[in-house]
Amino acid sequence: MCSKLLSTEWGPMQIRSGIAVSPGVAIGPAFMLGVEDFRIPDDTVSVDAVESEIIRLRCALENVASEISANEALASKHLGKEYAAIFAAHQQFVRDPKLLEKIESLIQNQHQTPEHAASQVLRKYAKELQNLGDKYLAERAVDIFDLERSLLRHLLGEQREELSHLKAPVIVLAHNLTPSETAGLNPKFVQGFVTEVGGSTSHTAILAGALEIPAIVGVGDFLTDISGGEMIIIDGNEGRLIIAPDEETQQKYQLVQQRFRSEHQARQKYGLGRAQTLDNVDIEVCGNIEFPEEAKSCKKRGADGIGLYRTEFLYLGALKERTEEDHYEAYLEVLKRFPDEPVTIRTLDVGADKIPDAMMHVYGDKSNPELGLRSIRVSLEYTDLFKTQLRAILRAAVHGRIRVMFPLISSLSEFRQAKMVLRDVCEDLEDQNIEFNPDIPVGMMVEVPSAALMAEEFAREVDFFSIGTNDLIQYTLAADRSDPAVSKYYNASDPSVLFLVRRVLRAAQAADIPVSVCGQMSSDPKFLPLLLGMGLRQFSVTPQAVAPIKQLIRKVSIEECKELAKRVYELDLARDIENFLRAELKRFLPEENENRRN
Amino acid sequence: MSDSQPIQRTVRLKIVQGLHIRACSGVVAIMDGFEGRVQIHYGNKSADASSMFDLMLLAALPNSELSLEAEGEGSELILDQIEDFLSHPSVPQD
């Protein structure tokens, strides 16, 4: 009954696909971001409020009309009558008797709110225009969306709800979410999100994993099909977005959701205890975190430590500079959960898609930010900022097993420069008689091809390596990790990438220094046997991956992994490698496939 | 008396761009103040001549045949005006 109503109200069910970046299933009403953050209330109006709601609609339309008149007068004065004519046409749209009739009918007969009804009717018109097969008329849909925005602005007025003021569970739909917007999502109300753009290793995607809400990115244009409030299903396992699902689909996904939750819970037990392969080789599985609070969930999931703490997230969304104490407290919070385990703190990795509001002035409109001033380059350019963080790290290191790691190192001189700043900070602290740990291990991320190529030289100077596959892939293959247009070029299975990873692992082994992989590759089960076969013994994965990765480690032997790796070295196409790894994974986890098929 | 009966007329659309936004806007402007009703039929689609949305969705192509149907006081006059407007190649700029 309910679904019948839904499908007539919202049009037929639509299924779209995108890149699954955070698993799970979410079902809830659509909340559109990007239409100037309008939250269209999806509740209905009571029968006795219908009259007053219709008056409210008419007032809003009247206001929009006078706004257009004002614009028309301005255009006529400054641009000439030719341009003003367009506003006259817009005026006629607002005053279209059919428009009013349709919106009022939805309010009167279906008791929809004016916001909802107006949005729905206008979007339907816009869509019809787009489907006429006339390019000129299709472009006029933009005018209709404009009209919708003006009308909503007048209707919602003071009632405009911001994302941060959500009071009920929703599914967030947006063209794009910046990492700071993502970080600001309240998982209590935001059950999942879907964006039109974005790639699987963009920072937004990483944050979705951290928030533990199902998410899909890179779906392509879909927002124009939605007016807000529709029932939405996100299948974060398969990367499917379902708009206005029919009853059968809803029931199916409720079951999938339940099963995912119970499997998820059952799986947690695999996280506990150390993970050893069948031939008794001990493997360390640490967690990657963005916020100190995540240390708790890492601990619960059985992480052997923190392999990557992305500290820049402390800055995102913050309007002012972070102080040494802000850093220090955040680090202590992590140490509270991992007092005796390794905690690897990566210094600020800002730039590209992660620019804190407080640092916007540093970045102009750069057309190629991934190759610009980002990460360690920012720290070396703005040493005060860098020193503030290093002081906090050195002080916190008194209380636990902290390691410090510099991101995006591309040359030996850069690493030496960063280390020099660290030594300066040690001297300052000593002069000031402040307690700190001068002996913390200093390592680097290997994520620029130049660093991987020079791994042997670096291995003589660093205390440890951590391979950041996300950036390594994008720089090796020249494919922006957050641009869906080049996502087919961004491929973790590419032999060139695997060649570089192998090179770094060998250099670390030869120099006898620890090495881990902290990029998405290490959280992806299909790469686990290969990485083990290549010689990797330390993994740092997203918190949700700790248990499944440990579970898989316990099912393989180093011997068979070495054999598998040898066969991969013989393949020269990314596609072949990927298919081979997938097939091998099925061999290791037959029961997983059984579950998937059901 | 004949005004109370619907009257019909066939017109060839001469506006070069067809029924695009400016042309629709012109028709709606003519309708302003007219108390009766005018329907424009194109192929199997129909539009209320006082509705911008309706007219745009006709997507009537240049040189196509439109049939007009009017009822109410002053139907003849309104159809004269609409016919005149649609039969000229360009939308007049006033």
CATH number at residue B21: 3.30.1340.10
Catalytic member of A203, A286, A298, A327? A203
Alpha-carbon span A425 to A104, nearest angstrom: 68
Alpha-carbon span A67 to A61, nearest angstrom: 10
Is A518 an annotated catalytic residue? Answer: yes
- Tell me, what's the pLDDT at A319? 43
Which chain A residues touch B50 with a CB distance below 8 Å? 96-97
Beta-carbon contacts of A431 under 8 Å, excluding residues fewer than 6 positions away, are none
- Tell me, what's the pLDDT at A269? 80
Q: CB of A200 within 8 A of CB of A486?
A: no
Indicate the fold that domain A2-39+162-264 takes in CATH. Glucose Oxidase; domain 1 (3.50.30)
Which chain A residues touch B53 with a CB distance below 8 Å? 93, 96, 98-99, 125
CATH top class, domain A47-158 = mainly alpha
- Tell me, what's the pLDDT at A367? 57
Domain A279-597 of CATH type 1.10.150.120: no
- Tell me, what's the pLDDT at A420? 97
Residue B94 located in a structural domain = no
Which chain A residues touch B56 with a CB distance below 8 Å? 129, 137, 140
- Measured in whole angstroms, the distance separating CA A598 from the mean position of its chain's CA atoms is 29
- Tell me, what's the pLDDT at A255? 94
**Nearest-by-Cβ selection for B59 from A88, A97, A134:** A134
Look at strands B65-71 and B37-42 and give their pairing: antiparallel
Cα–Cα–Cα angle for A542, A328, A447, rounded to 5 degrees: 40
Beta-carbon contacts of A120 under 8 Å, excluding residues fewer than 6 positions away, are A106, A112, A227
Count: domains in chain B? 1
Kindly list the averaged pLDDT for each block of 10 residues, start to end, along chain A of length 598.
Answer: 42 88 91 63 76 88 84 68 75 92 92 89 91 82 82 65 70 78 77 85 72 88 83 93 94 93 82 92 95 85 95 66 89 95 94 63 62 89 92 97 97 97 97 96 98 98 97 94 83 96 98 95 95 97 91 96 97 96 90 47
- Tell me, what's the pLDDT at A163? 62
- Tell me, what's the pLDDT at A596? 43
- Tell me, what's the pLDDT at B82? 95
- Tell me, what's the pLDDT at A470? 92
Look at strands A464-467 and B45-48 and give their pairing: unpaired
Chain A residue with minimum CA distance to B54: A98
Q: What's the gap in Å between the CA of B24 and the closest CA on chain A?
A: 8
Domain spans, chain A: 2-39+162-264, 47-158, 279-597
Diameter of chain A measured on Cα atoms: 83
Tell me the β-bridge partners of B48: B39
Q: What's the gap in Å between the CA of A327 and the closest CA on chain B?
A: 57
Helix (H, G, I), strand (E, B) or coil at A523: helix
The reply to whether ipTM tops 0.85 is yes
User: Can you give the residue range of the structural domain that contains B35?
Assistant: 2-86
Of residues B54 and A138, more confidence is placed in: B54
Chain A residue with minimum CA distance to B29: A92
- Tell me, what's the pLDDT at A465? 98
Chain A residue with minimum CA distance to B52: A93
Q: What's the gap in Å between the CA of A184 and the closest CA on chain B?
A: 40
Alpha-carbon span A319 to A403, nearest angstrom: 28
- Tell me, what's the pLDDT at A158? 39
Residue B22 located in a structural domain = yes
Helix (H) or strand (E) holding B48: strand B45-48
| Phi, psi at A510, each rounded to 5° | -60, -40
Chain B residue with minimum CA distance to A121: B53
Alpha-carbon span A177 to A535, nearest angstrom: 37
| Strand segments (E) across A417-574 | 442-446, 464-467, 515-517, 538-541
Is A154 an annotated catalytic residue? Answer: no
| Phi, psi at A193, each rounded to 5° | -145, 155
**In the block, which residue shows the tokens 């559109």?**
A32
Q: What's the gap in Å between the CA of A75 and the closest CA on chain B?
A: 15
**Nearest-by-Cβ selection for A132 from B52, B59, B94:** B59
Which chain B residues touch A125 with a CB distance below 8 Å? 53, 57
Residue B48 located in a structural domain = yes
Of A511, A405, A529, which Cα lies nearest the Cα of A468? A405
